[in-house]
Chain A
């Protein structure tokens, strides 16, 4: 592939940054000897790069270190608190607590199971059956009420 900075200007940036192989660099330098436009572009690139490298440098403020190490201390304190809470969730304590909770739940279930009154359900069922029987009787009574009329209809005159 031909190395042509006229078609690929980024090659000039790469040349400036020393990112080309020896062969590529030689090819571009040869091209520059006969191309004023590329030489102009390279100069502009160098100038832009120098401008960036020459940007203002600052000194750290007087309390930069103090503020930073305070942040580290705060971070470590938070980690210690998290560790203390985390330790409550590991080891023998949670196992003991789980066992106790299971034992208490089992005791509650057994207690409520024994105290259940079997006659309550039966009473409800019996009441429903009684009501149903009453309904049947009432239906039969309707028929009996009109029985005389039925007999009159049956006997031929």
Chain B
């Protein structure tokens, strides 16, 4: 489906075609879940945020006017949902309770750091440890820089689109992305140095 087709599907849904929403949901749900997961690092929280995103799409349908690509609009909602969540006082409490839940599905790389599996090939173990290091570095980046960086690096939006999504100018977006990368370089520099890279 082309992006123009996505916009048309949303317009069809606005006009009463429920099937159109199902198609958009099926197409984008994995992408939105992964955006939220890379933002927050917990699958359960990420799926809640992704569902909240699609709920907002669903309830916004009567007012939908295509001013940008559908995906730009969709990830604008996702970015706002994630930022609003992380700014809630109860967010940290929620994360702590999840970390204490033995049934919670964590990032597998975290498990390996805590209890390295000696039977695992070195290359795989190293890849998992890299993931952990990046995850922890991302958690340390200020949320607006993290948002801009993810929208650019993992979703491929332009500076102009990201500006629409987070209500910032293109120059500001450029600065946010640059600072986010600098932050990562600073945090991961030591880790990469130990690897001999």
The answer to whether B184 touches A58, judged by C-beta atoms less than 8 angstroms apart, is: no
Given A14-B174, A58-B34, A64-B33, CB of A51 within 8 Å of CB of B47: no
Q: Are A52 and B134 in contact (CB under 8 A)?
A: yes
A68 to B159, CA, bound (A): 31
Which range contains the number of A residues in contact with the other chain?
A: 20 to 34
Task: Known contacts A58-B46, A60-B29, A60-B30; decide if A48 and B188 are in contact (CB<8 Å).
Answer: yes
Q: Whose C-beta in chain B lies nearest to the C-beta of A57?
A: B34
A19 and B174 contacting across the interface, CB-CB below 8 Å: yes
Chain A residues 48 to 70 lying within 8 A of chain B, measured CB to CB, are 48-49, 51-61, 64-65, 67-68
Given A19-B174, A53-B154, A68-B51, do A60 and B181 touch, yes or no (CB 8 Å)?
A: no
Within 8 Å by CB of A10, from B38, B174, B197, lies: B174
Question: Which of A17, A53, A71 gathers most chain B CB within 10 Å?
Answer: A17
Are A59 and B51 in touch, CB under 8 angstroms?
no
Residues of B within 8 A of A109 (CB): none
Chain B nearest CB, measured from A38 CB (Å) = 14
Within 8 A of B (CB), among A75-120: 75
Q: Which of B177-197 contact A (CB under 8 A)?
A: 177-178, 181-182, 184-185, 188-189, 192, 197
Instruction: Evaluate contact between B33 and A48: CB separation under 8 angstroms.
Output: no
Q: Is the beta-carbon distance between B58 and A72 smaller than 8 angstroms?
A: yes
Cα–Cα, bound, A60→B35 (Å): 12
Is B168 an interface residue, CB under 8 A from the partner? no
Q: Is the C-beta of B71 less than 8 angstroms from some C-beta in chain A?
A: no
Min Cβ gap B53→A in Å is 10
Q: How far is the CA of A44 from the CA of B190 in the complex (A)?
A: 13
Q: Majority SS of interface residues in chain A? A: helix
A134 interfacial by beta-carbon distance below 8 Å:
no
CB distance from B65 to the nearest CB of A (A): 22
How far in angstroms is the closest Cβ of chain A from B150? 7
- Could you list some 23 contacts between A and B, CB below 8 A? A9-B182, A10-B178, A12-B178, A13-B178, A14-B159, A14-B178, A17-B152, A48-B184, A51-B188, A52-B150, A54-B134, A55-B138, A56-B107, A56-B109, A56-B131, A58-B34, A58-B43, A61-B47, A64-B33, A64-B51, A67-B47, A67-B51, A75-B55
What residues make up the interface of A, taking CB atoms closer than 8 Å to B?
Answer: 9-10, 12-14, 17, 19, 44-45, 47-49, 51-61, 64-65, 67-68, 71-72, 75
Of all A-B residue pairs in the complex, the 10 with the closest CB atoms, nearest first, are A10-B178, A13-B178, A52-B153, A48-B184, A48-B181, A51-B134, A68-B51, A44-B185, A55-B38, A48-B185
Chain B residues within 8 Å of A, Cβ to Cβ: 25, 29-30, 33-34, 37-38, 43, 46-47, 50-51, 54-55, 58-59, 105, 107-109, 130-131, 134-135, 137-138, 149-150, 152-154, 158-159, 170, 174-175, 177-178, 181-182, 184-185, 188-189, 192, 197
Besides A56-B38, A58-B37, A68-B55, 17 other CB < 8 A contacts?
Answer: A12-B178, A13-B178, A17-B177, A19-B159, A47-B185, A51-B130, A51-B134, A51-B184, A52-B149, A52-B150, A53-B153, A55-B134, A56-B135, A57-B34, A64-B29, A65-B29, A75-B58
